[in-house]
Amino acid sequence: MNDTIVSTSDLTFTYARRSTPALHGLTMQIESGTVTAIIGPAGAGKSTLCALLAGFMPQFFRGVVSGTAVVDGQSPLDASVHALLPHVTVVLSQASTQISGVCDTVAGEVGFALQNLGFPVAEIRGRVTEALITMEIAHLAERFPFQLSGGQQQRMVIAAALALNPPVLVFDEPTAQLDPPTVAALGVTLRQLAATGKTIIVAEQHLDWVAAYADRVLVLNKGQMHADGPPADIIGSAGAALGRSYALRLSTFATKSGIWRDTAPATTIDELVAGIDPTTQPPPFTKPLRAASDAIPAQPVLECASVQFAYPNGIPVLTDVDLMLYRGERIALLGRNGAGKSTLLRHFNGLLRPHAGTVSVNGIPIGKRAPGTLAQQMSIVFQDVRNQLFAASVQAEVAYGPSLLGITSAEQTRRVESALAVCALQSDAGTHPYDLPVARRRLVATAAIMALESDIIALDEPTAGLDDDSIKTLTEAISACTAAGRTVVLVTHDLNFCATQTDRVILLAGGRIILDARWTELTDTQIDVLAEQVGLPLGFDVARRCGITAGTALHVCITAAEGLR
């Protein structure tokens, strides 16, 4: 049996100015050479536990702590973060919070901590090179860190953690900003590290990823241990604190459809493929999808014509982008990290200006119009919502945008109340946004944008870090927008979500649009392109491997997403 390397005993932590503990009486032991996943709903204490194990409490995050914690023989409650670095390193959920700001290259950033610890130059170079290759960002070594996409920054800070090579690595939502191929590659990397004796602790909402790569799953709920066991036991159940993985939902669908030949539900895609009888097809799906002719109105709301853009470093990001969005559409904008998705989004409301080509909203070129003047035509929820949350309460945050639109106070009140309701935030109206869990903060930013009631609403990585309940709330908010005739654009790596919540998929690669089609009309060739670039929604992947048609696959995805209600 492996030795215990991380342990807590009756560990309780309460943040300053809070009355309810974020962690309460937590006792656990984690063995070396294992991958342990920590899951649970928003506010369960996952991020608090990750930060505490790295020594952030109570040194950085003030509060009252009791009980004990030991990581590689050290007490993270007493030792400094610097002293703990040879023993444990943490990667936080927001990459931007871990960029030093003093390095002008990615390679320098990855090696920054090693330099501060006094490692020999030759060893630093070797470790940095290996980490960059592992995270597939060696080609970005000389780029400026703040000119990277959010996903590329996430890869960079993970590389910096790998370069430190401590015996314990802690990750808080590491897959949130990564494209699907990188998510899978990270899982393989963490398994390989565990095989060499490293101990991996991962707080994660992506249950299918947890099922595929974790040895053990700890479930937190309200700061307490809710469950502890192997993935097959934990993910294979449908506990209220967990939500349900897509693999579990799909195997349940297969059982109800008479094409499941196994006795137990699946928790991974390999189990799904093995359990589905390829000689049968699901019965006809009775729930109608929106017909293509009905789903694309004739009225365009945004047009990009031959848009080109490059950042000051001269590297082209967008090349000859031609795009037309229509009123009431739900659109998924996909692509790998660095493909140009967020850059294109920022052209829609004038935050960035094309170096060539034009962008028009409602038939009018936006030219040099200030972004603020376009708020009722187009608005964005950013990847990092901290860039747009500033008010002292949720109510004030949501009310700020409408207050600038020159509308009546009664109309302002209606919009604010509607946005709070659709995002399930009424009970948090008087709370400071930064006193809420990260997932709730994302919903606050979403409500603030929805209160503008813009013609186009763009959500950049809207499901990152969200638990099952929050995703259901987001789904209802999107439906409310499109029901009111607004266009919703989702920039996301969550393929399962976008396959079920959007009508149309646009794929960017190298700054160019290489695929633009409706999910219901994807050809086999287009599915192959999608699979090669970013992967496939789980239902499509299983269908392709089992010989089920793409149309049936979409129905399967939708049923799975709705939890077979």
DSSP letter string, 455-495: SEEEEESTTTT--HHHHHHHHHHHHHHHHTT-EEEEE-S-H
Cα 442 from Cα 168, distance rounded (Å): 30
Indicate the burial class of 97 (C-beta count within 10 angstroms; 0-12, 13-18, 19 or more).
exposed
Report the percentage of the chain scoring pLDDT > 70. 91
Per-residue model confidence as pLDDT tens digits over 113-140: 999 999 999 999 999 999 999 999 999 9
Residue pair 39/242 in contact (Cβ under 8 Å)? The answer is: yes
pLDDT given for residue 298 in this prediction: 64
Give phi and psi for 534, each to the nearest 5. Answer: -130, 0
pLDDT given for residue 286 in this prediction: 46
Cα 84 from Cα 234, distance rounded (Å): 31
Residue pair 199/233 in contact (Cβ under 8 Å)? The answer is: no
Residue pair 177/95 in contact (Cβ under 8 Å)? The answer is: yes
pLDDT given for residue 551 in this prediction: 63
Q: Which ranges of 38-87 does DSSP label H, i.e. alpha helix?
A: 46-53, 81-84
Per-residue model confidence as pLDDT tens digits over 190-249: 999 999 999 999 999 888 899 999 999 999 999 999 999 999 888 877 554 556 688 887
Give phi and psi for 381, each to the nearest 5. Answer: -100, 120
Residue pair 517/343 in contact (Cβ under 8 Å)? The answer is: no
Residue pair 422/416 in contact (Cβ under 8 Å)? The answer is: no
Burial track 6-43 (b if 16+ CB lie within 10 A, e otherwise): bebeebbbbbeeeeebbbbebebebbbbbbbbbbbbbb
| Side-by-side strand order, sheet with 88-91 | 88-91, 168-172, 199-203, 35-39, 216-221, 224-229
Q: What is the mean pLDDT of each run of 10 residues along the chain (565 residues)?
A: 89 91 96 96 91 91 94 94 92 87 95 94 96 94 90 94 96 89 92 95 92 94 93 72 72 75 77 76 50 55 95 86 94 93 92 93 89 89 88 96 93 96 94 88 94 94 85 91 93 89 94 93 90 88 74 62 46
Q: Classify domain 4-246 at the CATH class level.
A: alpha beta
Helix (H) or strand (E) holding 15: strand 4-15
Number of residues assigned to the chain: 565
User: Which residue spans of the chain are classified as CATH 3.40.50.300?
Assistant: 4-246
The CA–CA distances, whole Å, from 76 to 2, 11, 90, 152, 495 equal 21, 12, 12, 29, 37
Beta strands at 35-39 and 216-221: parallel, antiparallel or unpaired: parallel
Closest residue by Cα to residue 162 from 187, 139, 190: 190
pTM, two decimal places: 0.87
